[in-house]
Structure 1
Amino acid sequence: MEKNSADWRYTVMPAVFTWLKESASGALEIDFVATQQYAADILRVQGKGGTRMGGLVGSGTLGENSYLSTQQRLALLKALSEVAKEFNVPLISGAAAETKEELAKIVTELATVGVDTVMVMPPKTKEAPSDEQMYAYYALAASAANQAGITIMPYNNPDAAGYHALSTDLLRKLAALAEVTALKISTTDVSTIETLMLENHALKILAGVDTVTVHAGLAGACGGITGVGCIFPKASVTMQEYVNNGEWAEANKISQAMNSISYLDAQPLLLEYLKYAFGIHHNDADGGLRTFGKKLTQEQIDDVQARYLLAKERLALLDLAD
């Protein structure tokens, strides 16, 4: 199976939304064409320095992963793989399971539809596993990925998503696995990134929270996976360009301009919030409201709209609103 090449250094990747539409019966179903179109539009955008997004993340938290059936998820990723191949970027998707055997099966299935790297979340268990159990869980996923010709990305997200936290010691061990392309650390505390990078400058770590892009870059992260970048891709790519060049003051201007909406990326309802903002941005309120997630209250809708408009106004001053 031909796979897209990935250079995980100095890149930002969009965690794209899954666009939905009403079927003839009135039920919601995936709009594959619209999802492909919006993903392609995001990958087409250039930053002020001329670079683009370096990958495509599909069926993640923002892609309504937890609400899709296995059949829906695989069909969605197969459609997104066409977009990834068109732009010669890797396709990334997430996986989590209660047991390591179940996880290995998911990794193998994802490889069959064009996924290049699997973001592996910790086990979906009520009690936190020991580091030894956690390592065995990831090691079997790595073995399955190796056999399928793909890679994995251990995903530490204990904050908004509420997953079991991966200890720093465990992250060190996982980073040494040959099948691990990068680590994804989605916390607002970037000290773990800094600790790991000080010990091993060769590590590749991606930040997963939009509010900390600049701080994560200062700590040594090589890039990030963005939700807000789906709405303001030019701003997101340009900010990463400044981070890569060490132009911290310029990067911070963009971070501050987007802060009102980036805040939503670190909230438990990030899917519902950011998807609604995406709908506003594309003058498609109905599209933004279509979700398998929770229905927002009017107070929440008003808050998202105010945050979006403030970010757009600030980014317009920097010629980054489009």
Structure 2
Amino acid sequence: METNNSDWRHSVMPAVFTWFKESKSGALEIDIDATQKYAADILKVQGKGGSRMGGLVGSGTLGENSYISVEQRLTLLKAFSEVAKEYNVPLISGAAAETKEEVAKIVEGLATVGVDTVMIMPPKTKTLPSDVEMYDYYELAEETARNAGVTIMPYNNPDAAGYHAISTDLLRKISVLPNVTALKISTIDVSIIETLILENKDLKVLAGVDSVTVFAGLAGACGGITGVGAIFPKASVSMQEHVLKGEWAEANKISQALNSLSYLDAQPLLMEYLKLAMGIHHNDVAGGLRTYGLKLTQPQIDDVQARYILAKERLGALDLL
């Protein structure tokens, strides 16, 4: 697939939010039109160097995938697929399951609605699977994806509650499966990225935590998936432009400007926090950017607002709003 980049993995991609509206009964339902519009608005934005987001990540953690039904999710992703095709970027979504058979079924379903790459979380089981069991899980996901005409991105997120860490040895083994397009490493400890890249310079690794974008780039990550970039896309794209050029001082200026918000991306309530920040950004806290997630306390709301204001002031000084 052609994109705005010669290789979409050498870019940053937004994990976009799901917008809601009230139904006639007063219940919240997904607002497909608004969700498509704001996804498109993010993909339109250019960084200071002229590049744009390299992909679209839909119905992920920030897209409330833990709260919506399978049918709602597939409908939403089909709508995202239209936006991704319009802007000539790949559509990426995730799969989390307890068994290899279940994850294979999810991959098959996502392939039918236009998803190009499936981020595969480790098995979400109470007990830690052996490396053999974990490898079998990813091997079947890869085989299923290959047969369905899509690729997979193994997703190591050891800091997230409920997900087992993938050992470095296992990451090496699954990274060379035929239809693995990249690894997504979501942790504030980027040493694992450096270890893998030193052993295989051709390996593609995407960072998944906004606060370590620059450090991940120094360690060898070629791109990233961003939540904060859905709020401040110009800043996120510009920072990645500097990272890819090795302009570390300039990249770090933007990272520092964003850091008050980027901190929230590594917290358990990242979806609730960042969606509130997006609501403040669009003056829409009580509208389309309401959430199915947990209700925040007033001190939490005040903290997010203060962090948003600080980031906005700093980015304004860098001409990155």
> Could you state the TM-score of these two structures normalised by the residue count of structure 2?
0.98
Deviation at 1:288, TM superposition (A): 6.3
1:241-296 alpha-carbon deviations (Å, 9 max, x no partner): 00001100000000000000000000000000000000110111213651110011
1:158-195 alpha-carbon deviations (Å, 9 max, x no partner): 11344100000010011100110000000000000000
Unaligned runs of 5+ in 1: none
The secondary structure found in structure 2 opposite 1:181 is coil
Q: Which amino acid in structure 1 is aligned with residue 190 of structure 2?
A: V
Q: Which amino acid in structure 2 is aligned with residue 266 of structure 1?
A: A
Instruction: Find the counterpart in structure 1 of residue 98 from structure 2.
Output: 98
Instruction: Find the counterpart in structure 1 of residue 246 from structure 2.
Output: 246
Q: Give the distance between the partners of 1:96 and 1:68, measured in 2 at CA.
A: 14
1:203-222 alpha-carbon deviations (Å, 9 max, x no partner): 00000000000000000000
Deviation at 1:10, TM superposition (A): 2.0
1:293-322 alpha-carbon deviations (Å, 9 max, x no partner): 00111110000000000000000000012x
Q: Give the distance between the partners of 2:151 and 2:291, measured in 1 at CA.
A: 30
Instruction: Find the counterpart in structure 1 of residue 53 from structure 2.
Output: 53
1:292 aligns with 2:286: no
Q: Give the distance between the partners of 1:303 and 1:90, measured in 2 at CA.
A: 35
Q: Which amino acid in structure 2 is aligned with residue 17 of structure 1?
A: F
Q: Give the distance between the partners of 1:38 and 1:289, measured in 2 at CA.
A: 11
Q: Give the distance between the partners of 2:287 and 2:270, measured in 1 at CA.
A: 16
Q: Which amino acid in structure 2 is aligned with residue 264 of structure 1?
A: L
Instruction: Find the counterpart in structure 1 of residue 136 from structure 2.
Output: 136
Q: Which amino acid in structure 1 is aligned with residue 12 of structure 2?
A: V
- Contact kept, 8 Å, 1:13 with 1:225, in 2: the verdict is yes
Q: Which amino acid in structure 1 is aligned with residue 316 of structure 2?
A: A
Q: Which amino acid in structure 2 is aligned with residue 46 of structure 1?
A: Q
1:180 aligns with 2:171: no
**Taking every aligned residue pair, what percent have the same amino acid on both sides?**
79
Q: Which amino acid in structure 2 is aligned with residue 222 of structure 1?
A: C
Q: Give the distance between the partners of 1:78 and 1:111, measured in 2 at CA.
A: 10
Q: Which amino acid in structure 2 is aligned with residue 64 of structure 1?
A: E
The secondary structure found in structure 2 opposite 1:188 is coil
Instruction: Find the counterpart in structure 2 of residue 227 from structure 1.
Output: 227
The secondary structure found in structure 2 opposite 1:122 is coil
Instruction: Find the counterpart in structure 1 of residue 205 from structure 2.
Output: 205
1:64 aligns with 2:70: no
Instruction: Find the counterpart in structure 1 of residue 18 from structure 2.
Output: 18
Q: Which amino acid in structure 1 is aligned with residue 237 of structure 2?
A: V
Q: Give the distance between the partners of 1:294 and 1:186, measured in 2 at CA.
A: 22
Instruction: Find the counterpart in structure 1 of residue 271 from structure 2.
Output: 271
Instruction: Find the counterpart in structure 2 of residue 281 from structure 1.
Output: 281
- Contact kept, 8 Å, 2:20 with 2:289, in 1: the verdict is no
Unaligned runs of 5+ in 2: none
Q: Give the distance between the partners of 2:126 and 2:174, measured in 1 at CA.
A: 22
Deviation at 1:4, TM superposition (A): 6.2
Instruction: Give the total of aligned pairs.
Output: 319
Q: Which amino acid in structure 2 is aligned with residue 92 of structure 1?
A: I
- Contact kept, 8 Å, 1:8 with 1:222, in 2: the verdict is no
- Contact kept, 8 Å, 1:277 with 1:308, in 2: the verdict is yes
1:16-75 alpha-carbon deviations (Å, 9 max, x no partner): 001111111111110000000000000000000000000000000000011111100000
Q: Which amino acid in structure 2 is aligned with residue 199 of structure 1?
A: E
Q: Give the distance between the partners of 2:58 and 2:287, measured in 1 at CA.
A: 18
- Contact kept, 8 Å, 1:121 with 1:155, in 2: the verdict is yes
Q: Give the distance between the partners of 1:288 and 1:269, measured in 2 at CA.
A: 19
Q: Give the distance between the partners of 1:266 and 1:297, measured in 2 at CA.
A: 19
Q: Give the distance between the partners of 1:161 and 1:84, measured in 2 at CA.
A: 30
Q: Which amino acid in structure 1 is aligned with residue 185 of structure 2?
A: I
The secondary structure found in structure 2 opposite 1:153 is strand
1:81 aligns with 2:88: no
Q: Which amino acid in structure 2 is aligned with residue 81 of structure 1?
A: S
Tell me the C-alpha RMSD between the 2 structures: 1.1
The secondary structure found in structure 1 opposite 2:61 is coil
The secondary structure found in structure 1 opposite 2:235 is helix
Q: Which amino acid in structure 1 is aligned with residue 53 of structure 2?
A: M
Instruction: Find the counterpart in structure 1 of residue 309 from structure 2.
Output: 309
Q: Which amino acid in structure 1 is aligned with residue 183 of structure 2?
A: L
Instruction: Find the counterpart in structure 2 of residue 109 from structure 1.
Output: 109
